[in-house]
Structures are given as C-alpha cells and as structure tokens.
Structure 1
Amino acid sequence: MGRFSKSKSFALWTLAVIITLSSVVYQRITGPTRPVRGKVEIRGEIVKYKLLRTHDISADAVMTILVPDTSVSAVFQWKRFKSYDQWTIDTLRVSDNKITIIVPKQPPAGKVIYDVTLFDGNGGIYPLSEEAITIRFKGVVPLIVLLPHVLFMFIAMLIGTRTGIEAIAKGEKAYRYALITTVLLFLGGLIFGPLVQKFAFDAYWTGWPFGHDLTDNKTLISFIFWLIALWQGKKPGRGRTWFIIASVVQLLIYLVPHSVLGSEIDYTAMNQ
C-alpha cells in the first residue's frame, strides 16, 4: 500500500462524491415519501397535480388542484391504513378555480390510503394514480436533531465510499477512513437516528429485534459490517477485502429507498 499523489487523491475523492451524490438522488426519487406528480388533459386544458405521501401531524394534509373548468368534479376516497374502516367517499367540486383535497391528520406513524379521480362532466374519467396512495403522518423533528443526523449520515456514506475506493486502489489510508466512517455512522445512525425517530414517530427504535423498520435495520447491518472490517483490518492480508465488502454493503443498503417498511400504526390492534 502506498501514498497517492495529490492529483490521484483528488480524482478518487471526486469519484466518491459522484457515487455518494448519485445514491442520494436515487433515494430521493425512489423513496415512498416522494409526492405523486402528474398531469391530465381535460377538454384541451392541462391539469397538473401533486398528491402528498407524507405530512406533519400538526394539521390536515391539504392539496389543491387548479381546474379552470367548473364542470369538472372529483371523487376522493380514503380510509386509515391497517384498519377496519370503510372507505369514506366525497364528491368535490371546483371552487375558485381549484379542487381542494383534505386528508385528516393522524397521530405519529398513522397512515391513510386515498385516491382521487377527476370527471369532466361528459363521461370522461381521469384517475390520478394507478393505485391507492399511502400518506404517513410524522411529528416535527427539531433542526438541532435533524441536521446532525443528516450531516453525519451523508459524510459517513461519502467516507465509506472513499474507503472502498482506497482499498481497491491499495492506498494506505483505508483503515483510517473506515474508522471515521464507523464513528460517524454510530453518531448519525445509532445516536441521532433514534432521536429523529422518536420525534417523528414516537419510538426510538423499530428495527430488529423490536420491529421491521428497514431504515433502522439497514443502519444496524452497515454498522456491523464496518465493525467487522475494522476488526479484520488489523490482520495482515484481510483488511483490504473487508474494507471493500463493508463499503459495497453500505452502498447497496443506501440504494434501498429511505422509509421503506417504516414505522406505522396498526389501527386494527387499537380501539377503533
């Protein structure tokens, strides 16, 4: 293992940044909290819409669709997720050139499934989604908790990726980078992560062994692999391979969309 020139080190860091930012963008566009956006053409007019999949518990989730044609109406149906509720069906009319959709607020981790269909008055039917949309309500997380969590996790991803690249290139700093990654992952994922979870969903940890929250579980798995890499990294001939494995595992885990199989209320187990 050797020391890299400044130009090669810069190139390797640039590659790590590109990989990290790409994974962040991928998570953003594939995650279950991303709004459902689209547009339909009704009588020559383009109607755009954005249907929410996450909202704060402080208020109802209100969505508006601009519709200039007053003959257009909408059918909005909803019910609580994992409940014995029957569908609540509302017919909505255009008022002030818009249709307003209101999903009643829920407790932290409470979910509602809903769908919206537009009608043009001449028999035209325009479903706004292929299947019912799930919206989850969450508490407000203070910035003093959220920012360190996001910062530590992002830097851990960046340096973890750089660790793998360093090991592949047979650089001398792989162990140092792995140690920094492990510390940052511990702080961001296992200290500030549960605090974020508590503020948002009123539970510190809902991964294994208490639940199946995928965000918690993938953080734990990644942390374990980095601990193994640090342990094996002290052994001659094994460290480089384990640094690569831990880096790849972390990357694959981060490609799993954030909040998949996240905290949720089972209303069927509660008094309705």
Structure 2
Amino acid sequence: MNKVLKNVIMWTIALLLTLATVVYQRMTGPTHPVRGNVTLENEEIRFRLIRSFPMPMDAPIRVKVESEKITGSFEYKRTPSHDEKTVEDMVRKDEYLIAYIPQQPPAGKVMYQITLQGEEEKVKLTENPIIIRFRGSVPAWAFIPHVIIIFIAMLLSTRAGLAAIFKEKTFTLTLWTLITLIVGGLIFGPIMQKYAFGEWWTGWPLGTDLTDNKTAIAFLFWAYAMVKVYKNHYHRGWVLAASVIMLIVFLIPHSLLGSEIDWTQEAMP
C-alpha cells in the first residue's frame, strides 16, 4: 500500500470515529430533548421535551395536540431545592398545548412533568420528571469556533492515536492536537461557560463540572505526550495513551454533572 492511500485510509477512519463519538455524546447528554409518544382519546401524540433553554424568558414546552377535548397541566419545582411542587394548566394555542416553565438565573434547574387529560382518562408524558437547565445566550463568535476547534482537536487526537499504532511519525499530530485543545477547550471553553452560566471555570478545584474536568484531563495527557514526543518524534506510548483518554472523556455525555444552582442553600430565595 502506497503512503498516499494509507494516509487517506487513516484520516477516513479517524474522521468516522470522531463523528461517531460526537453523535453519541450529543445524543446521550442531559441537555438532549426527550422524545416519545402517547395515545389519548384515540389520538397519537408525539412530543419533544426540551432540557436546556437560553434566557431571558420562560421556557415554552410545546406539545402538539389537535383534539380540543384534550387539556393539559404541568407540575414543576426548582431542583435541587426544598420547594413544593406547583401545578399549572397548559395554555392552548391553535393545535398546541404549551407549558411555560418560569425562567431561572443561569445554571438554574427546574424539574417538570406534563399530564394530558382527556374526557375519560389522563396520561403522563414521561414516567419521571424532566429536568431543564437555563443558560445565558452564547454569541456565535464564541460558540462556533469552540465547536469547530474542539472537533478538529478530537479528529487530530484520533489520527495521532492511529499514527502511534502504525508506527508513524507523531510529532506534528501531537503538537496540533495540543494547540487545538488549548484554543478550543481552555480558551473558548471558559468564554462559553462565562456567557452561558456566569462562571469562567467550574471544574476542579472550584467545582464538579464534568465538561471542564474532562477537558483538563485531556490537556494534561496531551501536554505530557508532547514532552515525550519533543524528545522522540516517533514516540508512541504516551501519544496512544493520550488519544485513548481523549476518546474516553469525550464519550462522556456532554454537560453531565454540569453547572447548577443549589437552591437548598439558605441564602437562596
């Protein structure tokens, strides 16, 4: 196999693995909408319940229900909190029933559960309450570069791991993986965090934000791999280790154990 063909194959494998990781991460994260369907009054009702919403307004949860014989209500409370649940009626607008979840400060969470009522029966859309987290709006100039550069970092990391496995030169791939991880994760990442939740960094040692922590772990592994590769441009062990760690940490669902306001604190209203 010639070098060009081998290189194309390696980059294709790296791209496919990276895309699979990104899709899995997004589909399993706690901010991914909950979808499903129920049947009430001989009508199949499909729903999509959001779990993340940008301020500054109440979060509208829309459920398409064509039959006007069906009404809806929703119960909600801040979480974590000692609040009692509040129950309100959903508002009908044309063919939609809408629940308006009261807006919260950045990182404020509310759990809610929707019930639809027919003439003779009622049904809950979900067995357990849904948790929605409010966030500030992130400008495109911060969001778009963050997403693109982090994707490139993941792609380069995977390609570097393959280079280590097949005994290729790893210096350039390691260098650019580290650079893109720093720019995308440690520069644009905190900028996004500040806009969305009002804090630059909520990982260790300041908090338990898993997104921040996994970025820091990936950076430490790649920084050490860079030290090793600087001495030996064909170094394999730590490059492969850093690539595997990068893959593992980015398989962890996005926003898991993310920033939140603890409403159980006495100082909170």
Q: What is residue 198 of structure 1 aligned with on the other side?
A: 194
1:85-136 deviations in Å (ceiling 9; x for gaps): 11001233655333111101111111111011212221x2321112111100
> What 5-or-longer segments of structure 2 have no aligned partner?
none
Q: What is residue 135 of structure 1 aligned with on the other side?
A: 132
Answer whether contact 1:67 1:94 (CA < 8 A) is retained: no
> Do structure 1's residue 154 and structure 2's residue 151 form an aligned pair?
yes
Answer whether contact 1:64 1:99 (CA < 8 A) is retained: yes
Deviation at 1:237, TM superposition (A): 10
Return the alpha-carbon distance in structure 1 between the equivalents of residues 173 and 191 of structure 2.
Answer: 26
Q: Which amino acid aligns with 1:206?
A: T
- In the TM superposition, 1:68-147 aligns within 5 A as 68-92=66-90, 94=92, 96-122=94-120, 124-147=121-144
TM normalised by structure 2 equals 0.95
Return the alpha-carbon distance in structure 1 between the equivalents of residues 149 and 100 of structure 2.
Answer: 36
Q: What is residue 262 of structure 2 aligned with on the other side?
A: 266
Return the alpha-carbon distance in structure 2 between the equivalents of residues 66 and 132 of structure 1.
Answer: 19
Q: CA RMSD in A?
A: 1.8
Return the alpha-carbon distance in structure 1 between the equivalents of residues 42 and 262 of structure 2.
Answer: 43
- SS of 1:107's partner is coil
Answer whether contact 1:230 1:239 (CA < 8 A) is retained: no
Return the alpha-carbon distance in structure 2 between the equivalents of residues 94 and 145 of structure 1.
Answer: 37
Flag as ranges the 4+ runs of structure 1 deviating above 6 A. none
> Do structure 1's residue 167 and structure 2's residue 164 form an aligned pair?
yes
Q: Does 260-269 or 197-206 show the bigger shift?
A: 260-269
Q: Which amino acid aligns with 2:175?
A: L
TM normalised by structure 1 equals 0.94
Deviation at 1:266, TM superposition (A): 1.1
1:232-267 deviations in Å (ceiling 9; x for gaps): 224559920111100000000000011001111112
> Matched residues, percent identical?
44
Q: Does 108-117 or 238-247 show the bigger shift?
A: 238-247
1:181-219 deviations in Å (ceiling 9; x for gaps): 001101111111101000000000000000000000000
Change (3 A) 1:184 1:95: closer
Answer whether contact 1:73 1:121 (CA < 8 A) is retained: no
Q: Which amino acid aligns with 1:54?
A: S
Q: What is residue 252 of structure 1 aligned with on the other side?
A: 248
Return the alpha-carbon distance in structure 1 between the equivalents of residues 216 and 35 of structure 2.
Answer: 33
Q: What is residue 176 of structure 1 aligned with on the other side?
A: 172
Change (3 A) 1:220 1:65: same
- SS of 1:170's partner is coil
Q: What is residue 62 of structure 2 aligned with on the other side?
A: 64
Deviation at 1:175, TM superposition (A): 1.6
Deviation at 1:49, TM superposition (A): 1.2
Q: Which amino acid aligns with 1:126?
A: V
